Structure 1
Amino acid sequence: MARLVLDTNCFAYKDKYYQQIHGGGMSSAFTQVLASIYMLEWEEHLIQHQAKHGEIYGRNEHGHLRTCVYHKPTADPYYLPYTSDHSHKYHRNIPYNALIRAARLCSNVHDFNLERTRIDVSLLLGQYPPKIISKQFLRFFQVNNAMSVLAELNADTYQRLHQKLINQIALNEKQLNDKAKNPVKYPPVLEKKTWDRTVINLRYIYESGPIASFSHKFYSWWKKHYRYPESAVKNKTVRLKSKINRKLTNYLIRKKPPRHRLTLKKQKDKQ
C-alpha cells in the first residue's frame, strides 16, 4: 500500500500535470506518517543503545544536565490568533498552557524567563490583548505557588515548580496510557462510553461579534426559564460547546485540480 501511494504521487501546477518519482510532499498526511515510522525505528535503536551502555545525550554544565525549549530556526513563532473565529475560552488557555510546557522543559530559571518573554512577544504578535496575557501569566504563578519566580527569578522555587510539573501527568495522558496497555484485549471500538443523563450537551456555531456573548445570555435564560423549583429539568446541567465556522480557504481554495487537468488528452494521429 505504501509503495502504491508513493508511486502514484501526482499533482497539477500551472495547467500541467506532474508525477513525483522521488520522495513525497510533506503536506501529504501519508508522508508525515511514513516519516514518523522511520523516526520511531531509529529512536528505538538509539534508546536501546543508551539504556545498554548507560549513555545520555544532553548539555552538561558543571555536573548538571540542562534542558530548554528548542525552536526550529526556520519556523516562525505562532499561536492561535486572537482574531480567529474561536471562542475566547480557547485563547485564554493558550498563555497558561504555554507556560506549563516551558516550565516542564526548561531546567534553568533563566531559560524559563527567556521562554516566557518569547511567549509574551509571540502572543502580542497574534493580537492578544496585554491584559489577558498578564492575567493568565499571573494565574499560572498563583496556582503553582511560584510568585517568587515571577518577582525575583528565585531558583529554588523554580526547581520545585519544575519537578512538580514534570511528575504531574495530565488527565488525557493517563487515559491514553491506560488504553495503550493492552489494545488487543481492550480495543477502543468496544469501549463503553459513559453517558451522564444529568448533562445536556448543546453545540452552536461561534462567531465573533454579537454572538460572542451568546453563551452568557443562554445560561441566564436557562436559569430563568428552566431552573425554577417545579421544572422537570431543574437538576439537569447544560454544557454549551461552540463550533467554528468553515474558513474562507474551504470555500476559495480548491485542493483538487479541475477535471480537465486530470484527464489525459488523446493525441491526434499524424496524417
Structure 2
Amino acid sequence: MKYSKQGKIGTFAIDHIMKMARLILDTNCFAYNNKYYKQIRGAAMGSAFTQVLANIYMFEWEQDLIQYQEKHNGIYGRLNSIEEIYRELEKAQHKDINIKITTIISTSIHFLDVTITNGNGKLRTSIYHKPTTESYILPYTSDPPRHIHRNIPYEALLRAARICLHVNDFYFERIRIDMSLLLNHYPPSFITKQINRFFRLNNAMSVLHELNEDVYHHLHQTLLRQPTRREKTLIYMMHYPTVKPLVLQPKIWNKELMYPCYLTQLHHHLHTDRSIQRTNRV
C-alpha cells in the first residue's frame, strides 16, 4: 500500500492484485504420473504473474540494504572492511530462509545475462551464457510467419551489440549466434543474408568485415541508448494511461462468448471463420 497511488499500482487496484495473487497461488495444480497435485508453496515458474510477484517481494526485501546504502552514501560494497560486508550480507541471509545469498568476491561477476569484468580498474561487459543452457532457438523447420525467423538473427545481434563493450567479445558472440542458427537448421544463405541486413541497417559493415573498433564503439553506444521494445511499450502506457490492451478492458460476462486477449488472436479468428464459411459454401 505504501507504494500505491490512490489505492492503485499502475492500472491495477490493490484489491485486484491481492485477488489475482490468491487465485494463482491457491489454485496452482499440475499432473504427474497420472496423478493430480496441488502446489502449496511457491508458484509456477512458467506463470507470468510469478515473476511480477517475485519482483514485488524482492523489492520490499532489499529495502534494508538500500537504506543502508543511502545512509552511508555508497554502494553495497563501499564499506569500511570485508568483515562489515559479510555482516550486512549475513543479516540479510537470515531475513527469509527462502532467499539464499551467494557471496562472491572476484574480478568477474555474472548479473542476469551479463558478465561484468574488472580489468585494471575498467569495467568490461559481455554476454553471460549459463553452462546448462543449450543452443536452442526456434527451429527453421517450424511454421510461424517468416518474419519471425528473420527477426531471430537480428534481435540476437542487437542484444550482443548492446551488451558487449569490446568488439572482440561481439565477434565471438556473433560466431556463437551463427552456430546456434546452423544447429537449428537455418540455411547458411539465410544466415548470411540476415546478418548482413543487421550491419547494413545500422551502417556498420566495416565491423562485419574488418572488426573496426571505432565503428563498433559508435554502434554499441547508439544501440545502448535506444529503448527496447518493452521500454517503448511502458513509455507509451505512461503517456496514454487510459489506453488498455483488450486483455485489460472490462467485458460483459457471457459464457457463450470467448474474448481474444490481443488483436492478433482476433485477426486469426476472423481469418479462420472466413475460411470455414468458404468451405461450407463449397
Deviates more, 1:59-68 or 1:4-13: 4-13
2:159 to 57, 76, 101: 101
Question: Do residues 127 (structure 1) and 185 (structure 2) align?
Answer: yes
Relative contact order (alpha carbons < 8 A, sep ≥ 6): 1 or 2 greater? 1
Cα separation, partners in 2 of 1:19 and 1:46, compared to 1, 3 Å: same
Summarize the Cα distance change of 1:177–1:121 in structure 2 as closer, same or farther, 3 Å threshold: same
The alignment status of 1:88 with 2:146, answered yes or no, reads yes
Task: Confirm whether residue 112 of structure 1 aligns to residue 170 of structure 2.
Answer: yes
**1:67-216 → structure 2 map (5 Å cutoff):** 67-169=125-227, 173-180=231-238, 186-189=241-244
Structure 1 gaps, min length 5: 192-200, 206-241, 244-271
Tell me which moved more, 33-42 or 161-170.
33-42
Checking the alignment, whether the CA contact within 8 Å between 2:65 and 2:76 is kept in structure 1 is no
RMSD: 3.6
Q: Structure 2: how far apart are the matches of 1:5 and 1:16?
A: 20
For 1:70 and 1:204, locate their aligned partners in 2 and report how far apart those are by CA, in whole Å. 37
Residue aligned with 1:67, SS:
strand
CA-to-aligned-CA distance 1:200-246 (integer Å, 9 cap, x gap): x99679xxxxxxxxxxxxxxxxxxxxxxxxxxxxxxxxxxxx99xxx
How far 1:70 moved relative to its partner? 1.9
- Equivalent residue for 2:52? 33
* Residue 53 (structure 1) aligned with residue 58 (structure 2): no
Correspondence 1:10 to 2:29: yes
Give the fraction of aligned pairs with identical amino acids, expressed as a percent. Answer: 55
- Taking structure 2 as the reference length, the TM-score comes to 0.57
SS at match of 2:127: coil
Is the partner of 1:68 in helix, strand or coil? strand
Change (3 A) 1:34 1:135: same
TM-score (norm 1): 0.59
Pick closer, same or farther for the CA change 1:48–1:159 going to 2, 3 Å: farther
Q: Please, which runs of 5 or more residues in structure 2 have no aligned partner?
A: 1-18, 78-108, 110-115, 247-263, 273-282
| Correspondence for 1:66 | 124
Taking the aligned partners of 1:118 and 1:35, their CA distance within structure 2 comes to: 32
Displacement after TM superposition at 1:159 (Å): 0.9
Deviation, 1:123, is: 0.8
2:13 matched residue in structure 1: none
Aligned positions, number? 196
1:17–1:176 CA distance, 2 compared to 1 (3 A)? closer
- Secondary structure of 2:192's partner? helix
